[in-house]
Copies of this chain bind each other. A is one copy, B any other.
Amino acid sequence: MSKALGEFEIIRNYFARAPQGEGVALGIGDDCALLQAPPSGQLATSMDTLVAGRHFPADADPAMIASRALRVNISDLAAMNASPLWFTLALTLPSSDAVWLKKFAAGLLETAGQFGISLVGGDTTAGPLSITIQVIGHTQKPLRRDGASPGDSIYVSGPLGAAAAALPVVLAEREVSEAIRREAEQVYYFPEPQLTTATAIGKFATSALDISDGLLGDLIHICEASGVAAEVNLDALPIAPLVHQLAADNAIELAACGGDDYQLCFTVPEAAAGQINQLDLAAVPIGRLVQGEPQVRCSYRGRPWVAPSPGYRHF
């Protein structure tokens, strides 16, 4: 699908119908989109690529691929306490497949509508299937990784391990009941960006990030950026029900090291912990930051615990 072979038709047919939301002065169809930034605060931007066979099975439902691609990007906005505004899409496709494109576009625009984010541009090219999305959001109170201090409490925004437990099912490596299969697909393709939690904790939190590579693999980035060490009590980890159903024997490993959950990990000063606990959130305290070289030390059932590998299996 080079430009000569129908790029303009694809854009016209499937993506130019995207509704234009807040701040979009000119959407798809010119050399650039024109955008009106909010008068105060800052813009937040992030970009993620999903490659077929690596981040999703090439034969997955195109609407589900689109959902996941956009949601994982919006999760980066949530991790920064930014509200979604606009996104651009670079879609590389092996061939111009109208059925696939129609499903993909429908899934993408439905997801965009749910999160109030406008598709404002992009590019389509021929090549091995991959999807790059770049998102722009707006924040009045950004949550960076470098604001944490010793003594801060560490929280996660909700249950962990579900996506790692779901992965063998999503890859069709494991046979399960239809109900479990649907739940696994839901977890994997429809991760929930934690925008509400981010807004609620915005004025208390000293740092935040989203857990895409696994709690321990991501928390170390807060330690490095803030110059602190972390002590995590794995007994406190909220474990997703799907983990107990699919991988009870490895529950702690999956919750501590499994990627793709897109919950937030954040820190708050000890004095604010009471206020966090009073918010109507699923967030759970799991440890605290201490002085020391950047590292994450874990305990489980009263003993030190070491992750079996630096990162758990990543699709």
Chain A interface residues toward B at CB < 8 A = 2-4, 25-26, 29-37, 42-51, 54-55, 76-77, 79-80, 82, 86, 88-90, 92, 120-123, 125-128, 130, 132, 134, 136-137, 139, 142, 144-146, 208-210, 213, 225, 310-311, 314
Contacts and interface: CB of A to CB of B under 8 A. Distances in A.
A139 B90 contact: no
Given A54-B2, A92-B49, A310-B4, A31 B130 contact: no
B3 A311 contact: yes
A228 to B, nearest CB: 16
A73 to B, nearest CB: 10
- Secondary structure of the A contact surface, majority rule: strand
Query: How many copies of this chain sit in the oligomeric assembly?
Result: 2
A54 B126 contact: yes
Contacts of A128: 127-128
Given A90-B132, A311-B3, A122 B47 contact: yes
B142 A26 contact: yes
B31 A209 contact: yes
Given A76-B32, A77-B32, A25 B54 contact: no
A31 B80 contact: yes
Contact of A4 (B90, B144, B311): B311
Nearest to A55: B125
A91 to B, nearest CB: 8
Given A33-B44, A42-B35, A90 B88 contact: no
B130 A92 contact: yes
A105 B122 CA distance: 23
Contacts of A36: 42-43
A132 to B, nearest CB: 4
B49 A123 contact: yes
B213 A88 contact: no
B51 A25 contact: no
Contacts of A47: 88-90, 121-123, 134
Contacts of A32: 44-46, 76-77, 79-80, 82, 137, 142
A34 B44 contact: yes
Given A30-B145, A42-B34, A132-B49, A2 B125 contact: no
A127 B210 CA distance: 24
B34 A80 contact: yes
Contact of A90 (B49, B55, B82, B86): B49
Nearest to A31: B79
A80 B30 contact: yes
